[in-house]
Chains A and B, each alone.
Chain A
């Protein structure tokens, strides 16, 4: 396990469309300890809105979410 700011798990969601990215994120985050960070890449532009919405609903934190060309890169911290 890397430190508090390090990434504990990475997830490739490229090519996946709604509702699968949210499913994979919800499953993956359960593998982390509280405070753990999940980093993921996706190509579905819908995740720009969906991941923050999912985080608000589940009480987790979006550390960052940004678009790099066709790729969306985001990281989430497990709070619950």
Chain B
């Protein structure tokens, strides 16, 4: 990030489709208004920037990777998911209303220069490696870097 003082920082802890759609929409709106925008992905939020392969090395880590598999097209809505049926239904409804699909939203955000920042600690705990994340993400970092972005922002949201 540069040295602007009116940026937008989003902290995404949720891995739910609806919340991630909202997060990317806000980020895109901010970036399109010329604001420096950063998205900090932690815990379940990491799913939105994972490639979608299986992750984990230890027994628990691999179980986590299997049961909480990442990838932007694999995440479901926070309500009425019903083991993936809800996600399918949501996608059909979004298509019918010509809403931009989530993966496309992420692409637009990247094009507009939104920084996608993974949380190092969550990656460690959940055994998610850098190569499990999409190429466009920045270097992983911790709370001090996230706060530095937030201090320079006028809007900081925790999603």
Contacts and interface: CB of A to CB of B under 8 A. Distances in A.
Interface of A: 15-20, 22-23, 25-27, 54, 57-58
Given A23-B108, A23-B112, A17 B98 contact: yes
B33 A58 contact: yes
Interface string B103-123: 001001000100000000000
Interface of B: 25, 28-29, 32-35, 97-100, 105, 108, 112
A27 B32 CA distance: 8
Given A23-B28, A23-B108, A23-B112, A17 B99 contact: yes
B30 to A, nearest CB: 9
Contacts of B32: 19, 22-23, 25-27, 54
Interface of A is mostly: helix
A58 B34 contact: yes
A58 B100 CA distance: 24
A26 B32 CA distance: 6
Contacts of B108: 20, 23
B33 A26 contact: yes
A58 B35 CA distance: 9
Nearest to B26: A19
20 contacts: A17-B99, A17-B100, A19-B29, A19-B32, A19-B105, A20-B100, A20-B108, A22-B29, A23-B32, A23-B108, A23-B112, A25-B32, A26-B32, A26-B33, A26-B34, A27-B32, A57-B33, A57-B35, A58-B33, A58-B34
